[in-house]
């Protein structure tokens, strides 16, 4: 279920002499991100993921491909460590695990289509939905040269209390996202081979259970 939570789951300065410079830079960064993502209708990317469960002190790596479309539509296809699909058309949410020959289904959470649950919606309205700051105001870019932003939802969810983003300064694509929940579990995702507004078909977000698969309510 850590995967499902993560999938449902995708922004103060102290030196008086630096406030003006960094405040302007933060505003410019936020404005660019909002502009780029407000124009996005869909997104596809490969990802690697590391999920850390604090209570168990356990880290689980994974990788796969993600497809997102406005309206709470998503498809996370995990290839490692075991195949799994998390699919939503914005109305129903499916979690299909081939090795168990089982698919869990539930009504899609309302939050999934909202800004806190949807990368595309949320990043198009950063200032409205999140408190935003640089992760390190004294050094706004990370070691890879990406803008590092620290986002706190104005209406936190159990599955999302904080979101840390690394944003490419040229393309404004999200290179890395760290999701923290109320139990201080973390899911770190890195994105590559990103394609934007490629016209993903609606069938991408429709799940059809293979013959013989057991359907179980998702709790």
Please indicate, yes or no, whether the overall pTM of this predicted structure exceeds 0.85: no
Cα-based distances in Å from 161 to 16, 86, 117, 186, 202: 29, 22, 11, 10, 30
| Phi–psi pair at 76, nearest 5 degrees | -110, 115
What range defines the domain where residue 151 resides?
A: 2-217
First to last CA, the chain: 10
Q: What CATH number should be reported for the domain holding residue 143?
A: 2.50.20.10
pLDDT tens digit at each of 219 positions of the chain: 445 444 544 422 222 233 333 435 899 999 999 888 888 889 999 999 999 999 999 999 999 999 998 888 899 999 999 999 999 998 999 999 999 999 999 898 754 544 344 555 567 788 888 899 999 999 999 999 999 999 998 887 788 899 999 999 999 889 999 999 999 999 999 999 999 999 999 999 999 999 999 999 987
- Give the number of domains in the chain: 1
What b-and-e string marks burial along 124-138, b requiring 16 or more CB atoms within 10 Å of the CB?
bebeebbebbbbebe
CB-neighbour burial class of residue 191 (10 A; exposed 0-12, middle 13-18, buried 19+): buried
Instruction: Provide DSSP, 97-126.
Output: EGGGTEEEEEEPPHHHHSTTT-HHHHHTTH
Q: Which of 205, 217, 215 lies closest to 90, judged by CA?
A: 205
According to DSSP, the residues that pair with 110 across neighbouring strands are: none
């Amino acid at each position: 279920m850590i995967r499902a939570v993560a999938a449902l789951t995708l922004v103060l300065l102290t030196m008086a002499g630096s406030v003006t410079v960094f405040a302007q830079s933060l505003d410019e960064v936020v404005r660019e991100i909002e502009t780029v993502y407000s124009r996005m209708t869909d997104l596809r990317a490969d990802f690697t993921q590391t999920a850390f469960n604090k209570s168990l002190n356990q880290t689980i790596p994974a990788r796969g491909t993600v497809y997102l479309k406005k309206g709470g539509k998503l498809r996370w296809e995990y290839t490692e460590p075991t195949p799994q699909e998390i699919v939503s058309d914005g109305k129903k949410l499916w979690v299909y695990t081939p090795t168990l020959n089982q698919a869990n289904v539930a009504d899609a959470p309302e939050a999934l289509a909202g800004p806190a649950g949807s990368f595309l919606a949320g990043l198009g309205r950063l200032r409205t939905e999140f408190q935003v700051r640089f992760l390190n105001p004294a050094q706004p870019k990370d070691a890879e040269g990406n803008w590092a932003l620290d986002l706190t939802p104005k209406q936190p969810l159990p599955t999302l209390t904080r979101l840390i983003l690394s944003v490419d300064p040229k393309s404004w694509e999200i290179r890395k996202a760290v999701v923290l929940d109320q139990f201080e579990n973390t899911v770190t995702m890195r994105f590559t081979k990103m394609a934007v507004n490629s016209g993903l078909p609606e069938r991408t977000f429709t799940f059809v259970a293979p013959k013989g698969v057991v359907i179980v309510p998702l709790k």
